Chains A and B, each alone.
Chain A
Amino acid sequence: NAGVTQTPKFQVLKTGQSMTLQCAQDMNHEYMSWYRQDPGMGLRLIHYSVGAGITDQGEVPNGYNVSRSTTEDFPLRLLSAAPSQTSVYFCASSLGTGGPYEQYFGPGTRLTVT
């Protein structure tokens, strides 16, 4: 099992550019989430999904889009990057209903927007 994988590990964008952060898990987990980590603020939930075809907003969803077409993948899209989106992004997954089960985190993506 690779667990939760994220690509890329590092990315630098210019303001206004778009990109997709990839997240995949091979544990057949039902739940997947995206968090961002900023200095002094801990991790905050951006978007989450409780199954393929189902997504919802978390605490800080503005500027981000998600979709979940398969159980394995949960990409995070930045449509027009802004410097305020400079952060470390974590994808997480957990087994799903009947929990709570442990959330497994990916290694993170460090994004810098200039």
Chain B
Amino acid sequence: AQTVTQSQPEMSVQEAETVTLSCTYDTSENNYYLFWYKQPPSRQMILVIRQEAYKQQNATENRFSVNFQKAAKSFSLKISDSQLGDTAMYFCAFMKRRDTDKLIFGTGTRLQVFP
């Protein structure tokens, strides 16, 4: 069975600074996808970034980038130039290539951005 672990229940960062959220996962699959979702206080789940396991290049979306280490089964999210609107819960999630209807989530990291 696949598991996703987020070992940082809470993080904080000052506005304009950089913060990295950690995620590790366990799987015997070779083909899979990894995601970071953001859940602001509104409760809406928003996709931040995704990574295909077969791609060595790390995904980037504006101020958000990942450090994907397949051998170490690590998938961290870096947020640059943090903004107050980045305050949210962040969930790491895993999806098998052959089960594209199922997401397996970590327990989340609560990020607070301070002015």
Contact = CB atoms under 8 A, between A and B. Distances in A.
Interface of A: 31, 33, 35, 40-45, 48, 50, 58, 88, 90, 92, 94, 97, 99-103, 105, 107-108
Interface of B: 4, 9, 33, 42-45, 47, 50, 91, 95, 97, 100-108
A42 B105 contact: yes
Contacts of A94: 100-101
A42 B100 CA distance: 19
Nearest to B97: A100
The 3 closest A-B CB pairs, nearest first, are A105-B45, A42-B105, A100-B100
At the interface, is chain A mostly helix, strand, loop or mixed? strand
B102 A45 contact: yes
A108 B102 contact: no
A56 B17 CA distance: 44
Given A33-B101, A45-B102, A100-B95, 12 more contacts: A31-B101, A42-B107, A43-B45, A43-B91, A43-B103, A45-B104, A50-B101, A92-B45, A94-B100, A100-B100, A101-B100, A107-B42
